[in-house]
Structure 1
Amino acid sequence: MPTTHPNPHAIAGMITRLNDPHYSRWAAQLRATGGCRQPIHMRGRVLHVDRATGRLLHSYTTAAEPDGVLRLPCKTRRTSRCPACAEVYRADTYQLIRAGLVGGKGVPASVTAHPCLFVTLTAPSFGAVHTRREQNGKTLPCHARRDAETCPHGRVMSCTARHGADESCLGEPLCPDCYDYTGSVLFNALAPQLWKYVTDALRRRVAKTAGLTLRELREQVTISFAKVAEYQRRGVVHFHAVVRLDGPDGPTSLPPAWATAEMLTHAVQHAAQAVTVTIPATDDEPARVLRWGRQLDIREIAMDGELSDQAVAGYIAKYATKAAECVGTLDRRINPLDDLEAFNLRDHPRRLIAECMRLGELDELADLRLAQWAHMLGFRGHFSTRSRHYSTTMGSIRDERRDFARTEEIATGRLPLFDEDTVLVIASWEYAGKGFSVGDALLVSALTGIPLAAPPDFGGDTDEPA
């Protein structure tokens, strides 16, 4: 294999950084970001002024920092972009989900007595795809058919291979020309709406079962939930959700005796099967009725059962940091004018993206913004959501971490101890870039062993952020 040599400009930039008298402070900034791959550069200052006397108590400016900027973590949730920041997001999501199951973060421990289910809603079939099936620890043939049909495009709709867990063909259709790419893209785009319909139908079903109106139901029961979206390898999303029954005041109050896990299970089953989304016909596409797939998994969460709070919280948190990478698509927006062949994509994700672009040009589907979300294969919803009363919020968890860091800085003397009522804080910040210069990228890669992206133009100022 040919040997790849670093660009001379990158090597020069790395040597310059190592010999910089401010190298220790630069390294400290990187450690403070937690190993962020694409730190945000901010330029500005902060002043602490006594409100009564006008005396300057403390000041900070980035002028004395390396390159005149302060580097902060990017805080992305995507593992594909920054594993370090995504791990923080995963941990926060874990705490949020688990607090709604066992208490903590403002949720009482008595919440463990509330009926609670782990629900998985899947997508319907859009065509046969290569899959890995197991039974009793033994890998089964993919799609073994004794009398397999031949599709209109001349392909035998059968596969006798026993696929490995990491084979690239998993999720790809047996016949790409038969696969319903339009339906797959539209389902992704409307999955958030289907989920909303499920939550609405669930409340109506619970009220009907209890012989109550919706208004009367709100006076006795609150239905709380937290959900996350997961991509299957075929390129469609399905949802994992925690659904919990609370009293009228949320997790602080017990639900009535009639609100049981069994009753909630039947209500979820009915809601998932009842809801649909209709897409009217256009000049180019027939009308479609989209619904959830036939596979519906509902299991009760019990502290002493097979499905524990830790298992559920860990499972949901894991998928909160992922997107469509398993399908082989991109993790950044795609310009409609870009040539998809230049991205070196496999045929299946390329066709899904191309279908997003095609449907995005239809005026009747403009509200779905399919072209803008082509890199997500049409899905434009939030990956992780929660109802108002489920537990704490991500903002509250981040505030706790920020307050902890501030307390530590005061204890070490890096910040003054002051009363917010008597001290005026004047801050001025501006965005100054993102990522690493080519020299810094080479140095960080050498220090950590993690290859980092650098700007394609290796000329010019080596301090220009990537």
Structure 2
Amino acid sequence: MDGSTGEILHHYDTRSEPGERLLVRCRNRRATICPACSRLHAGDTYHLVRAGLLGGKNVPDTVRHRPRLFVTLTAPSFGPVHRSGETCRPRRDGGTCEHGRPLGCGAIHPPDAPAVGQPLCLDCYDYTAHVLWHAHASKLWDRFVIDVRRRLASSVGLVQSRFAQHARLSFARVAEYQKRAAVHVHAVVRLDGPNGPDSNPPAWGTAELLIDAVRASARRVLVHTPYSPAVGELALRWGAQVDARPLRVDGDGPDDDAVAAYVAKYVTKGASETGAGLDHPLTTWADIESAPVSAHVRTLIQACWRLGDLPEYEPLRLRAWAHTLGYRGHILTKSRAYSTTYAALRAERAHHMGRVDLPDAVTERYWRYVGAGHTPGAALIAAGIADDLAQNRETAADEWASREGRSA
């Protein structure tokens, strides 16, 4: 309304909408669940990562001249799997494992072959270590960041506890499922002064020094799992493959926009899109048996379910995260000082969409909650889908029960 005269300039209510309902965003990041919201989320991620590389969104442009790296940390090997692009697993002497399966594979698999990422022997593959590594991946990253700070301080003769008085390490990292159903971490790492992006790093803060610290910490850090009488205690580390490349303003290195787009692409991918899990939680063993996944992924989910029943692993909530193969936490994580936030980007977009180009305009909003659910027409469709899902679960449960009876 006009703030001086009180004249109503524009009025909206939901009585003009179909079914008198206003459709709102579900804000699901997964492209397999909601393409529209995932596309919007990918755009926000692109600007969030790009602002930390080149400035903007309340981040000074001087960050583009700071030491910046694009880092990739991999999961360790839990057993040999089929590979693409070259001879898969050549072995001159052949041979078989203790379960009678070949130790090698002389085929050349195309990238989209179903065998790529599948173990050569399901019985030799260490599914327990794979699941527990996923469950501790976030803690492993936290230990890695702490160790990088300590190594930077030690390399220039600083007391580790006083590193924050001289420099600050900022990052944004994304988790990506590989063909073998193991998570890799891609991260943008930046070295700032003690006040974050508003201050320059000390003279000793170089990209080369940061690369050395990243590589050393990736080899050094480890996390121990809780002791279990059934499993024992495992020491979990990063994989042997570590990539740390500097990002340079003069173009000698990966392009900043390409890195931001790369991270944004993977943040909308769910586990099901890469064939490495599901996008919805599982509630029963029968759901695992009927899940449309490979034998490798099904065995990983079953390992989560079995290990989740052990009291020593109860804090890991493995059954609740069985659909993501034990990996917990957000797909994208950033440090506080890296750049802007999703909330700030959404607020800016909402302000832009609701802006009125009049100096004295006043916007008044009054919303009254009526209820949630489907429209009358969509309710019939939803009811039919629910019946089909219930029937599918019953069929899968009967099939599983009959197979158990035959095996007994």
**Is TM-score (shorter-chain normalized) higher than 0.5?**
yes
Q: Is the counterpart of residue 124 in structure 1 residue 72 in structure 2?
A: no
Matched residue, 1:163: 109
> What amino acid maps onto 1:167 in structure 2?
A
Tell me the alpha carbon deviations over residues 66-121 of structure 1, each in whole angstroms, 9 at most, x when there is no partner.
Answer: 22311112121101111221111111111111111111111111111100111100
Matched residue, 1:370: 318
- Residue 260 of structure 2: which of 282, 296, 313 is its match? 313
1:71 partner SS? coil
2:136 partner SS? helix
Q: List runs of 5+ in structure 1 lacking aligned partners.
A: 1-47, 134-139, 442-451, 459-466
Q: Shift in Å at residue 213 of structure 1?
A: 2.2
Matched residue, 1:429: 369
For residues 49-88 of structure 1, what are the structure 2 equivalents within 5 Å?
Answer: 60-88=12-40
Q: Determine the C-alpha separation between the residues in 2 that align with 1:347 and 1:127.
A: 15
Q: Determine the C-alpha separation between the residues in 1 that align with 2:367 and 2:82.
A: 56
Q: Is the counterpart of residue 387 in structure 1 residue 317 in structure 2?
A: no
Q: Shift in Å at residue 60 of structure 1?
A: 4.8
TM-score by length of 2: 0.87
Q: Measured at CA, do residues 107 and 339 of structure 1 come closer, stay the same or move farther in structure 2, by a change above 3 Å?
A: closer
Contact 1:336 1:357 in 2 (8 A): no
Matched residue, 2:346: 398
Contact 1:437 1:454 in 2 (8 A): no
Q: Measured at CA, do residues 228 and 179 of structure 1 come closer, stay the same or move farther in structure 2, by a change above 3 Å?
A: same
2:173 partner SS? strand
Q: Measured at CA, do residues 337 and 348 of structure 1 come closer, stay the same or move farther in structure 2, by a change above 3 Å?
A: closer
Q: Is the counterpart of residue 272 in structure 1 residue 218 in structure 2?
A: yes
> What amino acid maps onto 1:395 in structure 2?
A
Q: Shift in Å at residue 122 of structure 1?
A: 0.3
Matched residue, 1:24: none
Matched residue, 1:195: 141
Matched residue, 1:105: 57
Matched residue, 1:141: 87
Q: List runs of 5+ in structure 2 lacking aligned partners.
A: 389-408
Contact 2:19 2:375 in 1 (8 A): no
> What amino acid maps onto 1:114 in structure 2?
R
Q: Shift in Å at residue 418 of structure 1?
A: 4.2
- Residue 207 of structure 1: which of 153, 163, 166 is its match? 153
Q: Determine the C-alpha separation between the residues in 2 that align with 1:309 and 1:439.
A: 46
TM-score by length of 1: 0.77
Contact 2:275 2:293 in 1 (8 A): no
Q: Shift in Å at residue 216 of structure 1?
A: 2.7
1:331 partner SS? coil
Q: Shift in Å at residue 405 of structure 1?
A: 0.6
Q: Shift in Å at residue 186 of structure 1?
A: 0.6
Tell me the alpha carbon deviations over residues 188-239 of structure 1, each in whole angstroms, 9 at most, x when there is no partner.
Answer: 1100000000011111111111211244321221111110000011111110
- Residue 97 of structure 2: which of 136, 139, 151 is its match? 151
Contact 2:245 2:253 in 1 (8 A): no
Q: Determine the C-alpha separation between the residues in 1 that align with 2:72 and 2:55.
A: 23
- Residue 94 of structure 1: which of 19, 40, 46 is its match? 46
Q: Is the counterpart of residue 348 in structure 1 residue 300 in structure 2?
A: no
> What amino acid maps onto 2:325 in structure 1?
L
Q: Determine the C-alpha separation between the residues in 2 that align with 1:178 and 1:429.
A: 56
For residues 329-344 of structure 1, what are the structure 2 equivalents within 5 Å?
Answer: 329-344=277-292
Q: Determine the C-alpha separation between the residues in 1 that align with 2:55 and 2:344.
A: 15
Matched residue, 1:236: 182
Q: Shift in Å at residue 399 of structure 1?
A: 1.1
Q: Shift in Å at residue 253 of structure 1?
A: 1.3
> What amino acid maps onto 1:455 in structure 2?
I
Identity of aligned residues (%): 45
Contact 1:234 1:327 in 2 (8 A): no
Contact 1:221 1:245 in 2 (8 A): yes
Q: Shift in Å at residue 455 of structure 1?
A: 2.3
Matched residue, 2:391: none
Aligned length: 386
Contact 2:178 2:276 in 1 (8 A): no
Q: Determine the C-alpha separation between the residues in 1 that align with 2:211 and 2:376.
A: 51
> What amino acid maps onto 1:209 in structure 2?
S
Contact 1:115 1:261 in 2 (8 A): yes
